[in-house]
Chains A and B, each alone.
Chain A
Amino acid sequence: MTFQERFSLNFIEKGRYKYLLSGINNTLLITIIAAAIGIALGFLIAIIRSTHDTTGRLKILDFLCKIYLTVIRGTPTTVQLLIVYFVIFSSVSRPMLSAFIAFGLNSAAYVAEIVRSGIMSIDPGQMEAGRSLGLTYPQTMVFVIIPQAFKNVLPALANEFIVLLKETSICIAISLRDLTYGTQLISSQTYDYMFPLLAGALIYLVIVVFLTWLFGKLERSMRKNER
């Protein structure tokens, strides 16, 4: 078979490229929603943990957060995904919802530690300056500390979301039709592994390169403020 014939067989005939398209769609959707959950929950955990570290308050919440982080970071993501899909949603088949939750909770743990290190790296004088003006602790956190911490950890966060995007490929374990699964669906019909997998790899690569560029641009525009 010529290159053209193999290409046509794998991607054109019977509209097989659509497996890849809907796969990209699902992969991106899972990444975006999991990242959103990860950011929201991760920032919350980071604020609780760093508030505890600097003021000694929120002991119980801090303890719960620590358990959460230990469990999430101490078990494989695949196992977490399988637990959400087969155990928590055992009676209904909800692969997408399971992926949102599993990757969202997983990502939150990593985001939390990144953001916490960002908060702890801010000079304590910033909190004191805010408080000395009469701003409350939460106000100073929101308007003074978090914006600076966010800027500092943006590269690490960007990296975390790129890892997340690639890690969603383990959705194959719950037969979720993401990009990786799409390549396998094509292979199962054409008995060709190389073309679909290389196409899948190339698509991941293009998305990652694009995201890297996007985050870099965002970072540069945020840095402009302080040269």
Chain B
Amino acid sequence: MNGEVLLDIQGLEKHFGDNRVLRGITTQIRKGEVVAIIGPSGCGKSTFLRSLNLLEEPTGGKIFFEGAEITGPDADVNKIRRKIGMVFQQFNLFPHLTIRRNITLAPVKLGLLGREEANRRADELLARVGLPDKANAYPSQLSGGQKQRIAIARAMAMNPDVMLFDEPTSALDPEMVGEVLEIMRELAESGMTMVVVTHEMGFAREVASRAVFIDEGVIKEDNAPEKFFTSAQNPRLRDFLSKVL
């Protein structure tokens, strides 16, 4: 992969009090890449991902998005977030709004699309995630897998340049994991740049273009999936893989 660099992360640090979760993470995310973030529970995968759209404020280091620093004091956080979609483990759909309004809320309120245009876009996205008949349903009427597919559609409605996924299938019943991974695979094939925190090693191996192992606050391994899963150098990664594979 040698597309342009979308996210340039330099020496990223995040401390919660004296809990030094991220201790200097440096990596680049290039256009079209699908990067799987892997690591033991509590190692800071979510913290890393949430730093990328500034849901967590880094305590050190710099992040550049499309060439501009987003960690500086006068970065426009709201503008930046429009271009960085995020999908959460717990879906976080808006329960008081219909599916259509969930998808159109941000584009309409931010003045990016008119109501009708936004509705048309929502219908397109619903078709794309395989739920064309759910526009008027409420989140509580959907299964977990359906909710997560809607959450993906909602993030895509902003036409983001990169999408962040934080364990998108971890809260799902096993039989629903596949449908969400399938949508993500299609998204990856369409060229979307994706950063995916996941425990789904199959997905990481087959869909990701790069796998990154975070441990003890730093990147311990960063490699193409074939090498990452078969000939890992780092002993902690080897140990980790032997437990999860």
Contact = CB atoms under 8 A, between A and B. Distances in A.
A125 B94 CA distance: 10
B110 interface: yes
Interface in A147-199: 147-148, 151
Contacts of A126: 92, 94
Interface stretch (A41-49, A57-65, A75-83, A136-144): A136-144
Interface of B: 53, 55, 78-79, 81-82, 84-86, 88, 90, 92-96, 105-106, 109-110, 138-141, 154-155, 158
A147 B88 CA distance: 22
The 3 closest A-B pairs by CB, nearest first: A134-B82, A129-B92, A133-B106
A129, A135, A136: most-surrounded residue (chain B CB, <10 A): A129
25 contacts: A129-B92, A130-B94, A130-B106, A131-B55, A132-B53, A132-B81, A132-B86, A132-B155, A133-B82, A133-B155, A134-B78, A134-B79, A134-B82, A135-B105, A135-B109, A135-B110, A139-B110, A144-B94, A144-B105, A148-B96, A151-B96, A226-B95, A226-B140, A227-B138, A227-B140
A132 B139 contact: no
A129 to B, nearest CB: 4
B81 A134 contact: yes
Contacts of A131: 55, 78, 81
A126 B88 CA distance: 11
Contacts of A134: 78-79, 81-82, 106, 110, 158
Nearest to B94: A144
Interface residues on A, range: 20 to 34
A135 B85 CA distance: 12
Main secondary structure of the interface of B (DSSP, over half): mixed
A128 B106 contact: no
B55 A148 contact: no
A13 interface: no
Contacts of B84: 132
A135 B140 contact: no
A227 B109 CA distance: 27
Contact of A147 (B78, B92, B96): B96
B128 to A, nearest CB: 18
Given A132-B84, A134-B82, A226-B138, 7 more contacts: A126-B92, A129-B88, A131-B55, A133-B81, A133-B154, A143-B109, A144-B94
B106 A225 contact: no
Contacts of A143: 105, 109
A5 interface: no
B97 to A, nearest CB: 8
Given A128-B55, A131-B55, A225 B81 contact: no
A31 B179 CA distance: 54
Given A128-B55, A128-B88, A132-B85, A226 B110 contact: no
Nearest to A137: B78
Given A134-B158, A135-B110, A143-B109, A148 B95 contact: yes
A27 to B, nearest CB: 34
A132 B53 CA distance: 7
Contacts of A123: 90, 92
